[in-house]
Amino acid sequence: MGLDALNPPKPEDIHETLLEFPDNRLLIDLCGEFDRNLAQIEHQMNVHILRRGNQLAVVGDSEARGQAAAVLQALYQRLEQGKQIEAGDIDGEIRMGPAETEGAGPDAQMELFKGGRVEIKTRKKLVEPRTEAQKAYVKSLFNHELAFGIGPAGTGKTYLAVAVGVNMFIGGHVDRIILSRPAVEAGEKLGYLPGDMKDKVDPYMQPLYDALNDFLPGKQAAKLMEEKRIEIAPLAFMRGRTLSNAFVVLDEAQNATTMQMKMFLTRLGEGSRMVITGDRSQVDLPRGVNSGLRDAETLLKGIDDIAFNYFTAKDVVRHPLVAKIIDAYDAADPAKG
């Protein structure tokens, strides 16, 4: 398992790197139940890993062996710091490669740098970018008052934006969190849904509730929403407001019209930060209606104080099949050919 049967390395290229881990309890966690963590590393990095007491032997060609050894050591250090290891953490270590020490930006007090890595502290969990694009995106959210995150579903655009918003809120850097989406009908008329206006629009806002509940205890989130210190509302509800001292996220921005986008962007007030996220391939607006996200990207690209961050299928952190599905659709789209 792990070595490529179709393109096997030459015998003289196959060597062994031996790693020793002093804490056997942590080594058990490193290997995972039924050695599933080792199996994931073997599968993704084209190596074979053998366990010998408190040692792991990594077998493969020189480059793959060195990279796998670095991943194993980084994961072990993670366990030493009291963190857990999940499949996504392993995937993140493989994608990110060895950490490099780097300088922090002007607002680095809001970030926790560990050997060049970025960590976002929230009330419930520590969130870490898992690709270089995600890392650059998170840093731009801390260091710019207005930032865009553009790319396919599953790349963490909204999730990371909400995590940064919660981090800045609990750190006292903003007084409110405001999360918004266009309530665009996609096959089902709002008027046909049961309930009052809140009942009608809540299904459109559910992904924002899901992200928020990942970072704040349920009772605390409910209390903050009751106090209006956290708001989740359709884009139409933003008209006429000036959003000061707030962290504001507009999700699914590809479904905002040009006028709605202009309206939203001009809500930015003193002490606020604004994040616009969207996927240009998932526009649900009626035919002939321009996407405000496309127009904003064209019109604002030359403004230095605005950060544009782009993601591709390589940044998808959902099931590996999601990236392949996105690639297949992109390949079949004449507009991207």
pLDDT value at position 320? 65
pLDDT value at position 254? 94
pLDDT value at position 74? 87
Residue type for position 18: L
Average confidence (pLDDT) over 319-324: 70
Average confidence (pLDDT) over 16-38: 90
Above 70 in pLDDT, residue 100? no
What's the pLDDT band for 3 if we cut at 50, 70, 90? very low
Sketch out the chain's domains with CATH numbers. 11-96 (3.30.1370.10), 108-336 (3.40.50.300)
Average confidence (pLDDT) over 265-277: 94
What's the pLDDT band for 1 if we cut at 50, 70, 90? very low
Helices marked H in the chain: 24-31, 36-45, 62-80, 87-96, 132-143, 157-170, 197-215, 218-226, 258-265, 292-300, 320-332
pTM of the model: 0.74
Q: Is 123 helix (H, G, I), strand (E, B) or coil?
A: coil
Integer CA distances (angstroms), 138 to 49, 204, 234, in order: 34, 25, 24
pLDDT value at position 66? 87
For 34, list phi and psi in degrees, rounded to 5.
Answer: 55, 30
Residues with Cβ < 8 Å from 49, sequence gap 6 or more?
A: 2, 38, 41, 42, 56, 57, 58, 59, 68, 72
Above 70 in pLDDT, residue 319? no
pLDDT value at position 53? 87
Tokens, residue 32: 């995972």
In this predicted model, what pLDDT tens digit does every residue of 226-249 receive, in sequence order?
A: 999 999 888 888 888 888 999 999
Percent of the chain surpassing pLDDT 70 = 81
CB contact at 8 A, 118 and 102: no
Q: Is 52 helix (H, G, I), strand (E, B) or coil?
A: strand
Helices then strands, counting H and E runs in the chain, come out as 11, 12
pLDDT value at position 293? 95
Burial annotation 272-290 (CB, 10 A radius, 16+ → b, else e): bbbbbbbbeeebeeeeeee
Tokens, residue 44: 């993704």
pLDDT value at position 295? 95
Q: Is 133 helix (H, G, I), strand (E, B) or coil?
A: helix
pLDDT value at position 5? 46
Could you tell me whether strands 246-250 and 176-181 are parallel, antiparallel, or unpaired per DSSP bridges? parallel
Order of strands across the sheet with 273-278?
A: 230-234, 176-181, 246-250, 273-278, 146-150, 306-310
Residues with Cβ < 8 Å from 319, sequence gap 6 or more?
A: none
Tokens, residue 337: 């050919």
Nearest residue to 309 via CA among 175, 144, 181: 144
In this predicted model, what pLDDT tens digit does every residue of 164-182 receive, in sequence order?
A: 999 999 999 999 999 998 8
Across 13-22, 63-72, 320-329, the highest mean pLDDT is recorded for 63-72
CB contact at 8 A, 178 and 249: yes
Tokens, residue 136: 């650059």
Task: Indicate the DSSP class of residue 9.
Answer: P
Handedness of CA 32, 34, 38, 43 (dihedral sign): negative
| Cβ count within 10 A of residue 172 | 7
pLDDT value at position 275? 97
